[in-house]
Amino acid sequence: MSSPSRPVIGYIVKMFPRLSETFIRNEIQELERQNVPLRIFSLKRPAESKADTVRSPVIYLPDRVYREPIRVARAQLGVLRRYPAGYFRTLAHVLGGRELRSLPRGLRRFCQTCCLIHELNGVRHLHAHFASDPTRLASWARMICGISFSVSTHAKDLFQDARVRSPGLHYKLNAARFVVANSRFSASSLVAALPGHESPARKVITIYNGIDLTVFTRRQLEPTEPLILSVGRLIEKKGFPQLISACGRLAQKGVEFRCEIIGSGPLKPALQEEILRLGLKDVVRLRGERPHAELRPLYERALVFALPCIVAANGDRDILPNVLKEAMAVGVPVVTTQLDGIEELVTHGRSGLLVPPGDTEALASALEVLLEYAPLRQQLATEARQVIEARFNVRKNFAQLRDLLVDAPPANAAREMRALAPSMP
């Protein structure tokens, strides 16, 4: 049971747990350590559930109505009986297709929203991760029953296909009690995109995803093997084709190295083909996905960490990749690219090396310098650790989020419902 000063917070996520979103698990674990009562609502069920990594209950909302018809029917009737005006208002919004063009998908999300409300079980506030379907459910729950909500935004949900300029997104974020951005760059983009709110700069708060410094301690010894490590999904924005090309340049120049890329994704066949084409099969390896717990030993073995991010053709991009922070915390010198957001983490020549996105020659040169010049590696590693300790400490950063979640005034359902008077997008 929660005390009056610590209301239960409902976390809405698309899938929990998810290997590519360990930052959400880290956040939940840290809030649990800080005694915040949580109830996790997941829109999808993972293929292999490992939710025992958190103490909070995880409720998997029905992704397909036909799989749990009795549960869905009970939720519909319960919500209709308790909140008839909000129920019909939101259903009309869904049927009007003004937010989701796919009616079956809209009705599926509406059913999930009703299950969410019916199973709140004492939740006083909702917090959605990603300004996509999780935020849609939170905003629809507010339409129905007046519960307050907040949102943590990231990168794909804002920048892919220019979603940050979407009127529907603006409406939902304006209805949120507060919006968390994970970088100053994202925050400034959000503030510019919320013209309908009287004070968007106060609504949008920058909270960096932090690193547990008790887990990612500074390593004592630098490895002797010239290993370049990279970690990430095998998708366009990570820049792995550029990394493989840079490895080709290093091999042509006779530089001694090995490169291991950890991750899986749709680009794996193309990347494997490029490795073979460049004759790098003996020095560059795609090692597939690894559980997050196995990354720390890999950082220990790496002489250099590389993540040459780019902006994808559809606008998707990385902002502040957690793997960069983890490598920096352990003491691995990093090479990455000059992108807005990333430059809030890495200062060129001080806490890492930055190269222009897509510049294979510059990337190869930066890798060569770090592989061959030990004093620079040590200098960058020392400064990088200090940056992580100062700005990316998980306990300090998520204490700010804790205060926002549990110290906000309780929602006033009548006031919240009156705010729905403007036409919906």
Cα separations in angstroms, 265 against 124, 168, 238, 268, 287: 38, 30, 11, 6, 12
Residue 218 contacts residue 187 (beta carbons within 8 Å): no
- Report the topology of domain 227-391: Rossmann fold (3.40.50)
Q: Choose which CATH entry (1.20.120.420, 3.40.50.2000, 3.30.300.160, 1.25.40.10) describes domain 8-210+395-418.
A: 3.40.50.2000
- Within 8 A by CB and 6+ apart from 118, the residues are 74, 75, 78, 79
Q: What is the DSSP letter of 155?
A: S
* 237 token code pair: 């924005």
Residue 203 has a pLDDT of 85
Question: Which residue type sits at 251?
Answer: A
Distance CA 153, CA 280 (A): 38
The answer to whether residues 207 and 397 touch, using CB atoms and an 8 Å cutoff, is: yes
The pLDDT of 51-75, averaged and rounded, is 90
Q: Provide mean pLDDT across the span 382-411.
A: 88
3-state class of 387 per DSSP? helix
The pLDDT of residue 269 is: 97
CATH 3.40.50.2000 intervals, the chain:
8-210+395-418, 227-391
Dist CA 54 CA 16 (whole Å): 10
How many beta carbons lie within 10 A of that of residue 143, not counting itself? 24
Per-residue pLDDT tens for 84-128? 999 999 999 999 877 777 889 999 999 999 999 999 999 999 999
**Element of type H or E holding 259:** strand 258-262
Q: What is the pTM of this model?
A: 0.87
Contact 226, 257 (CB under 8 A): yes
Query: What are 306-343's pLDDT values in tens digits?
Result: 999 999 999 999 989 999 999 999 999 999 999 988 99
Gap between the Cα atoms of 308 and 240, Å rounded: 7
Among 2-6, 284-288, 309-313, the range scoring the smallest mean pLDDT is: 2-6
* Greater model confidence, 5 or 176: 176
Give Cα separations from 209 to 133, 151, 278 (angstroms): 21, 14, 37
Q: Are 42 and 16 in contact (CB under 8 A)?
A: yes
d(Cα 105, Cα 334) in Å, to the nearest integer?
42
Work out the angle at residue 411's Cα, subtended by the Cα atoms of residues 406 and 417, and round it to the nearest 5 degrees: 150
- Single out the residue of 112, 206, 156 nearest to residue 20, CA to CA: 156
Q: Quick one: pLDDT band at residue 6, thresholds 50, 70, 90?
A: confident
Q: How confident is the model at residue 390 (pLDDT cuts 50, 70, 90)?
A: very high
CA–CA gap between residue 114 and residue 140 (Å, rounded): 9
